[in-house]
A and B are shown apart, each in its own frame.
Chain A
Amino acid sequence: MGIRKVNYERCTGCATCVEECPMDVIRLDRSINKDEMPPCQAACPAGMSMRDYIYLVVQRRFEEAAALVRNTLVLPGVTGRVCFHPCEEDCARRKVDEAVNIRSLERFVTDYALESAPGPVPKLHNEKIAVVGSGPCGLAAASELARKGYPVTVFEALPVLGGMLRAGIPEYRLPRDVLEREIDSVIELGVKTLTSTPVCDLESLFATGYKAVLLAIGAAKSRNLAIPGEDATGVAYGLDFLRDFNLGKGSRLEGKVAVIGGGNVAVDAARLALRTGASQVTIIYRRSRAEMPAIKEEVKEALAEGVRTKFLAAPVQITRENGGLCVTCTRMKLGKKGADGRRQPEPVPDSEFDITADRVIIAAGEEAEVPSKWGLKLKRGAITTDPTTLATSRRGVFAGGDAVTGPGYVIQAIASGKKAAAGINCYLRGEQPGFEEARRVNKPPLKGVDKKARNTAAHLGIAERRNQAEVEAGFSPEMALKEADRCMACGSKAFIKYLRDCMTCFLCEIDCPEEAIYVSPERERRKPLPW
Chain B
Amino acid sequence: MFNRWTRQVNCDVLVIGGGLGGTFAAIKAEEAGAGKVVLVSKGKLGKDSVSTFAAGVMSVIMPGDDFEAEFRNYALGEWSGAGIYDPAWLKIAMEENYDRVRDMESYGVQWARKPDGQIERRAARGVVLKGTFMKPFMDAMANKVRSTSVEVAGHIMLTGLLTENGQTSGRVVGAVGFDTRTGDFCVFKARAVVMAAGGCSFKPRFAGCSMSTGDGYTLPYRAGAKMGSFELGHFHQMSAAAFDTAGMNLFVALGGHFINARGERFMQDYFPNLVEFADLTSVSQASAMEMRAGRTPVYLDMTHFPPASVNRIRTALRSPTKALERMGIMVGDKIVSPIEYAPCFRGTYSMGGGIVTDIECATSLPGLYAVGDSRCRPEQEPAALAGAAVTGARAGIFAARFAKESGDVEIDRGQLEELEGFTFAPMERQDGIEPDHIITENLETIVPYEVVLIARGERLEKALKEVRRIQREEVSILYASDLHYLRMAHEAANILLTTEMYLNSYLTRKESRRACFREDYPYTDNINWLRNTRLKLEKGEMQIWTEELPYDSLPLKPERTKRLHPIFEVARRKGIPWG
Contact A510 B488 (CB under 8 A): no
Q: B residues 176-219 with Cβ under 8 Å of A?
A: 180, 182-184, 203-205, 207-211
Contact B243 A522 (CB under 8 A): yes
Of B43, B204, B245, B343, which is in contact with the most chain A CB atoms at under 10 Å from its CB? B43
Contact B210 A23 (CB under 8 A): yes
A58 to B1, CA, bound (A): 11
A110 to B462, CA, bound (A): 61
Residues of chain B with a CB closer than 8 A to A323's CB: none
**Binding-face segment, A150-158, A159-167, A355-363, A494-502:** A494-502
A526 to B244, CA, bound (A): 13
Quick one: which of A498, A511, A529, A531 contacts B484, CB cutoff 8 A?
A: A498
Contact B342 A529 (CB under 8 A): yes
Residue A59 lies at the interface, judged by CB distance under 8 Å to chain B: yes
Residue A60 lies at the interface, judged by CB distance under 8 Å to chain B: yes
Residue B48 lies at the interface, judged by CB distance under 8 Å to chain A: yes
Contact B443 A523 (CB under 8 A): no
**Binding-face segment, A14-22, A135-143, A191-199:** A14-22
Residue B545 lies at the interface, judged by CB distance under 8 Å to chain A: no
Contact B2 A60 (CB under 8 A): yes
Task: Please give the distance in Å from A455's CB to the nearest CB on chain B.
Answer: 15
Residues of chain B with a CB closer than 8 A to A125's CB: none
Residue A106 lies at the interface, judged by CB distance under 8 Å to chain B: no
Q: A residues 473-531 with Cβ under 8 Å of B?
A: 477-478, 481, 497-498, 500-501, 503-507, 509-511, 519-523, 526-531
**Binding-face segment, B319-327, B382-390, B507-515, B569-577:** B319-327
Contact A530 B180 (CB under 8 A): no
Contact B241 A529 (CB under 8 A): yes
Task: Please give the distance in Å from B564's CB to the nearest CB on chain A.
Answer: 23
Quick one: which of B209, B448, B488 contacts A503, CB cutoff 8 A?
A: B209
Task: Please give the distance in Å from A133's CB to the nearest CB on chain B.
Answer: 40
Contact A521 B327 (CB under 8 A): yes
Quick one: which of B245, B319, B447 contacts A507, CB cutoff 8 A?
A: B319
Task: Please give the distance in Å from A25's CB to the nearest CB on chain B.
Answer: 9
Residue B5 lies at the interface, judged by CB distance under 8 Å to chain A: yes
A477 to B7, CA, bound (A): 11
B449-473 interface code vs A (CB 8 A; 1 in, 0 out) = 1000100000000000000000000
Residues of chain B with a CB closer than 8 A to A526's CB: 440
B35-61 interface code vs A (CB 8 A; 1 in, 0 out) = 000000011100111001100000000
Contact B443 A528 (CB under 8 A): yes
Contact B3 A506 (CB under 8 A): no
Quick one: given A60-B3, A521-B243, are A527 and B440 in contact (CB under 8 Å)? yes
Residue A52 lies at the interface, judged by CB distance under 8 Å to chain B: no
Residue B296 lies at the interface, judged by CB distance under 8 Å to chain A: yes
Contact A503 B244 (CB under 8 A): yes
Residue of A nearest to B204 (CB): A527
A527 to B449, CA, bound (A): 14
A478 to B4, CA, bound (A): 13
A160-193 interface code vs B (CB 8 A; 1 in, 0 out) = 0000000000000000000000000000000000
Main secondary structure of the interface of B (DSSP, over half): loop
Residue B556 lies at the interface, judged by CB distance under 8 Å to chain A: no
Task: Please give the distance in Å from B187's CB to the nearest CB on chain A.
Answer: 14
Contact B322 A22 (CB under 8 A): no
A531 to B341, CA, bound (A): 12
Quick one: given A24-B43, A527-B204, are A505 and B296 in contact (CB under 8 Å)? no
Contact B47 A521 (CB under 8 A): no
Residue of A nearest to B448 (CB): A530
Residues of chain B with a CB closer than 8 A to A61's CB: 2-3
Residue B518 lies at the interface, judged by CB distance under 8 Å to chain A: no
Contact A503 B291 (CB under 8 A): no
Residues of chain B with a CB closer than 8 A to A477's CB: 5
Quick one: given A60-B2, A503-B207, are A523 and B244 in contact (CB under 8 Å)? yes
Contact A22 B323 (CB under 8 A): no
Contact B323 A504 (CB under 8 A): yes
Quick one: given A60-B2, A506-B323, A526-B440, are A22 and B48 in contact (CB under 8 Å)? yes
Quick one: given A23-B210, A60-B5, are A504 and B288 in contact (CB under 8 Å)? no
Task: Please give the distance in Å from A88's CB to the nearest CB on chain B.
Answer: 24
Contact B440 A509 (CB under 8 A): no
Quick one: given A22-B43, A521-B245, are A510 and B322 in contact (CB under 8 Å)? yes
Residue B318 lies at the interface, judged by CB distance under 8 Å to chain A: yes
Residue B28 lies at the interface, judged by CB distance under 8 Å to chain A: no
Residues of chain A with a CB closer than 8 A to B322's CB: 506, 509-510, 519, 521
Residues of chain A with a CB closer than 8 A to B449's CB: 530-531
Residue of A nearest to B444 (CB): A528
Quick one: given A19-B44, A20-B47, A531-B296, are A505 and B208 in contact (CB under 8 Å)? yes
Contact B447 A528 (CB under 8 A): yes
Residue B487 lies at the interface, judged by CB distance under 8 Å to chain A: yes
A454 to B205, CA, bound (A): 42
A198 to B25, CA, bound (A): 73
Residue B120 lies at the interface, judged by CB distance under 8 Å to chain A: no
Contact A22 B288 (CB under 8 A): no
Quick one: given A23-B211, A59-B182, A505-B53, are A510 and B319 in contact (CB under 8 Å)? yes
Quick one: given A22-B47, A505-B207, A521-B327, are A59 and B319 in contact (CB under 8 Å)? no
Quick one: which of A58, A510, A527 contacts B205, CB cutoff 8 A?
A: A527
Task: Please give the distance in Å from A19's CB to the nearest CB on chain B.
Answer: 5
Contact A530 B342 (CB under 8 A): yes
Q: B residues 338-384 with Cβ under 8 Å of A?
A: 342-345
Residue of B nearest to A503 (CB): B210
Residue B78 lies at the interface, judged by CB distance under 8 Å to chain A: no
Residue B436 lies at the interface, judged by CB distance under 8 Å to chain A: yes
Residue of B nearest to A24 (CB): B484
Q: B residues 112-167 with Cβ under 8 Å of A?
A: none
Q: A residues 120-145 with Cβ under 8 Å of B?
A: none
Task: Please give the distance in Å from B204's CB to the nearest CB on chain A.
Answer: 7
A60 to B185, CA, bound (A): 12
| Residues in chain B within 8 A of chain A (CB atoms) | 1-5, 7, 42-44, 47-49, 52-53, 180, 182-184, 203-205, 207-211, 241-245, 288, 291, 296, 318-319, 322-323, 326-327, 342-345, 436, 440, 443-444, 447-449, 453, 484, 487-488
Mind listing 25 A-B residue pairs with CB under 8 Å?
A22-B42, A22-B52, A22-B210, A61-B2, A61-B3, A503-B203, A506-B319, A507-B52, A509-B322, A511-B47, A521-B245, A521-B322, A522-B242, A522-B243, A522-B327, A523-B241, A527-B443, A528-B443, A528-B444, A528-B447, A529-B241, A529-B447, A530-B288, A530-B344, A531-B449
The 6 closest A-B pairs by CB, nearest first: A521-B323, A530-B449, A503-B210, A521-B243, A60-B3, A506-B319
